[in-house]
Amino acid sequence: MNEVVIAGVGQAPVGEHWEISLRELAMTAIEKAIHEAGGLRPQAVFVANQLAPVLSRQGQLATLIADFAGLTGVETATVEAAGASGGMALRLGHLAVASGQVDAALVVGVEKATDQVGAVVEAALTTGLDADYEAEHGLTPAAQAALLMQRYMHEYGVPREAFAAFPILAHQNAVGNPHAMFRRAISEKAYARATMVADPLNLFDAAPFADGAAAVLLARRDLLPPEMPHPLVRIAGSASANDTLALHDRPDPLDFRAVRWSIERACRQAGMTPAEAPLFELHDAFSVYVPLILEAAGFAPRGEGWQMGQDGRLSLDGDLPILT
């Protein structure tokens, strides 16, 4: 297998980009990634997206965006895996380069959610659930997260206020992040007063609808100059795993098995344990996901992930920074 590195990265600020199209938004990230990689031309383009076919009435995103970027004659594939779309696209790009099928691959994630109103966006997000047995009966991602939060509180005797630590941390980290949508801190008092979305989930427990794009250019290390103007990040391990889609069909809804399985596989490839990681980025569309993912990843015993948000361990200067 070839050694794969991230040769270039690019990102558009997260926000409301009504003034530009989906393809233009993606291009802002692509240009930065290719420039940082010294103009390296990819032979494959993987585009991650969930909502465009519904909200923008646009499919074939990878072909559309590659063409807009001036990349014709390359392999293109659009990747949809709901909230895991970006991670899955990166996984496929890594496999393409590591296997030797291509020397360089461009991985792009792009979403444009603010061109539609809230109910339409919520309906689009709900396509990531089981249409026949969940969405048909009114379940939405927010309602599903609320059920998980209720169950977590019931099983482990955790007060709702304990979850405040995670959105407070995310907002605090956003203050110094030029790409963040809301660059201001929030207090426990503000969290307690926030509008309820789906009991016990409030407004700060849920990520906002937003537009954004990010891109990475993956390449074989041996094809790049020995000295680059910026550090190269080697992908030491990469893995993915699925679980039963419908939440009610899982043996234990509070056990995020796919997280555990994928992390175990990736760590085996890298020859390390999760505890050796200097930071941990996770999917926090809803605050209850944070303790559940921390527990599934092995950073905390079942029912104790919420405690990691109480003592500074997860802050930027803590033992395991998250939500950076």
pLDDT tens readout for residues 46-69: 999 999 999 999 999 999 999 999
Architecture of 125-207+241-309 per CATH? 3-Layer(aba) Sandwich (3.40)
pLDDT value of residue 11: 98
Q: Encoding tokens for residue 306? A: 């919420």
pLDDT value of residue 54: 96
Residue pair 21/213 in contact by the 8 Å Cβ criterion: no
H/E stretch holding 219 reads strand 211-220
pLDDT tens readout for residues 237-272: 999 999 999 999 999 999 999 999 999 999 999 999
pLDDT value of residue 48: 99
Domain layout of the chain by residue ranges: 4-114+210-234, 125-207+241-309
DSSP 40: P
Q: Encoding tokens for residue 265? A: 């596989």
- Distance of alpha carbon 267 from alpha carbon 198, whole angstroms: 36
Sign of torsion, CA 21 22 26 27?
Answer: negative
Confidence of residue 228 (pLDDT cuts 50, 70, 90): confident
Provide CB contacts within 8 A for 312, sequence distance 6+: 318
The mean predicted confidence, pLDDT, of the chain is: 97
| Omega before residue 200 within 30° of 0, cis | yes
Residue 229 has pLDDT above 90, yes or no: no
Provide CB contacts within 8 A for 270, sequence distance 6+: 236, 237
Location of structure tokens 């979403």: 111
4-114+210-234 shares its CATH topology with 125-207+241-309: yes
At 65 the three-state DSSP class reads: helix
CATH code, 4-114+210-234: 3.40.47.10
pLDDT tens readout for residues 136-175: 999 999 999 999 999 999 999 999 999 999 999 999 999 9
Location of structure tokens 């700060």: 204
